[in-house]
Amino acid sequence: MLSFTDPNQMQQQALAWRQTSETIAFVPTMGALHRGHAALLQAGRSRGTKLVLSIFVNPAQFGPNEDLSNYPRSLEADLELAQQCEVDAVFLPTQEAIYPANFRSYVEVEQLTRGLCGGARPEHFRGVTTIILKLLQIVQPHCTLFGEKDYQQLQVIRRMVTDFMIPVEIIGVPTVREADGLALSSRNQHLSAAERQTARAIPEALFAAQEMKAQGPDEMITAVRATLIAAGLRDIDYITIVNPNTLVPVTRLDQPARLCVAVRIGETRLIDNVGL
């Protein structure tokens, strides 16, 4: 497995691969890898002749009071998982290499970034789109894989790639879950044993909603809220049902829609979503 820290060297390797007609599949991550990331790598492995993984905890997508400094890091285990997933190259840039002192450019996707997580995290998606555009320039992939777990992020990146005509295919990968339904997340390791028990109410509420014969979105949202509160999850950031493409809240349930939630458990903020 090749390893690069210098963005120029990574880009030179990617361009060399392209010259010899290799196809590059790319999985960008912030590390602390788990089975969710592995699912993206496996999907990428079957789509590219070269598979690139990046690990970079991107400061630009964390707010001033967010968990940048204690974001989980586990490089040794991450590299082992990368080997197991037959990654060809891992890209591990430093903050200084990505954001040198004279860095001045940011990308902003309008509207799609305002609702859902954009409410509580106003600068977050600007940081996400900026790093992803930069990584796409460095890694030059033919396809890039993202998890549906971060559904808004996936739609925002699809929009950016379409708007700027970036020649890359964006592939969404279904959410990988624990046995009790909780979506795998690097942040789950911050949960205490009691919080982890409580967290299972999130997928329970979402799966129950999928089976529900609700009259409309308000009724469904009320039911989801009741399930979460009954489990002791009172710090609910949002429960919203949106159009899966525009992310605009729906007023009826007669078309495909996406039910999205964000909940705080102690210091940890968890998000999840399901299709309706």
Q: How far apart (Å, rounded) are the C-alpha atoms in residues 134 and 106?
A: 10
Catalytic pick from 34, 37, 124, 190?
Answer: 37
Out of 87, 146, 155, 258, name the contact with ligand AMP by CB under 6 A. 146
**Interacting positions 183-202 with ligand AMP (CB under 6 A):** 183-186
Nearest to 158 by CA among 148, 57, 53: 148
Verify binding: residue 37, ligand AMP, rule CB under 6 A: yes
Nearest to 157 by CA among 114, 184, 116, 126: 126
Verify binding: residue 40, ligand AMP, rule CB under 6 A: yes
Specify the residue for token string 């705080």: 264
Q: How far is the CB of 38 from ligand AMP (least distance, A)?
A: 9
Verify binding: residue 273, ligand AMP, rule CB under 6 A: no
Verify binding: residue 90, ligand AMP, rule CB under 6 A: no
Q: How far is the CB of 254 from ligand AMP (least distance, A)?
A: 28
Verify binding: residue 82, ligand AMP, rule CB under 6 A: no
**Interacting positions 149-168 with ligand AMP (CB under 6 A):** 149-150
Out of 25, 173, 205, 224, name the contact with ligand AMP by CB under 6 A. 173
The span from the first CA to the last CA of the chain, in angstroms, equals: 41
**Does 190 qualify as catalytic in the annotation?**
no
Q: How far is the CB of 1 from ligand AMP (least distance, A)?
A: 19
The residues, any chain, with a CB within 8 Å of residue 186's CB and separated by 6 or more, are 30, 31, 32, 33, 34, 71, 72
Structure tokens given for 142: 């033919």
Q: Is 194 exposed, middle or buried (0-12, 13-18, 19+ CB in 10 A)?
A: exposed
* Contact in structure between 85 and 45 (CB atoms under 8 Å): yes
Out of 155, 175, 268, 273, name the contact with ligand AMP by CB under 6 A. 175
Helix (H, G, I), strand (E, B) or coil at 192: coil
Out of 147, 191, 201, 202, name the contact with ligand AMP by CB under 6 A. 147
Verify binding: residue 128, ligand AMP, rule CB under 6 A: no
Q: How far apart (Å, rounded) are the C-alpha atoms in residues 22 and 25?
A: 10
Stretch that binds ligand AMP, among 9-17, 113-121, 130-138, 182-190 (CB under 6 A): 182-190
Q: Are strands 50-55 and 89-91 parallel, antiparallel or unpaired?
A: parallel
Q: Are strands 236-242 and 258-265 parallel, antiparallel or unpaired?
A: antiparallel
Verify binding: residue 54, ligand AMP, rule CB under 6 A: no
Helix (H, G, I), strand (E, B) or coil at 276: coil
List, edge to edge, every strand of the sheet that includes 268-275. Answer: 236-242, 258-265, 268-275
Stretch that binds ligand AMP, among 35-43, 98-106, 159-167, 220-228 (CB under 6 A): 35-43
44 φ, ψ (degrees, to nearest 5): -70, -35
Verify binding: residue 140, ligand AMP, rule CB under 6 A: no
Residue nearest to ligand AMP (CB): 147
**Interacting positions 253-272 with ligand AMP (CB under 6 A):** none
Catalytic center residues:
37
Give the binding site for ligand AMP (CB under 6 A): 29-30, 36-37, 39-40, 146-147, 149-150, 173, 175-176, 183-186
